Amino acid sequence: MNDDNFFNRVFEVVILIPYGRVTSYGAIAKYLGAGGSARMVGWALNTANRSFVPIPAHRVVNRNGLLSGKRHFGGPDVMRQLLESEGIVFEGDQIVNFGKVFWDPSLELE
């Protein structure tokens, strides 16, 4: 699989995540038919700031609702602040009611 093509496919999914919702790296990988490639989704999102189109990468968290990618947002609290501005509630770095705000592309886009 061509990395550039995979990265673009990741971006196409992430752009569709609704305001106030989150998904996981693994859910995106599974939707794209690359179930074991959650880490590669993360690598793609690390390059999202180079895109000409805004990519809401802050809406992608780990499978437990933790902000595992927060260091890539220009400061340790930026990712959380962006999500809080969308109404996401936290306890520490854990999203409260993760199941309620979780958006599964395999269910929502099929």
Q: Is the pLDDT of residue 96 over 60?
A: yes
CATH top-level class for 3-108? mainly alpha
Kindly list the domain boundaries of the chain, sorted by start residue.
3-108
Copy the structure tokens of residue 3: 């990395």
Number of residues written out for the chain:
110
DSSP string, 46-89: HTGGG-SS---GGGEE-TTSB-TTGGGSSSTTHHHHHHHHTT--
For residue range 12-59, list pLDDT tens digits in order. Answer: 999 999 999 999 999 999 999 999 999 999 999 999 888 888 999 999
Q: Which residue has the higher pLDDT, 58 or 76?
A: 58
- Sign of the C-alpha dihedral computed for residues 19, 23, 29 and 33 taken in this order: negative
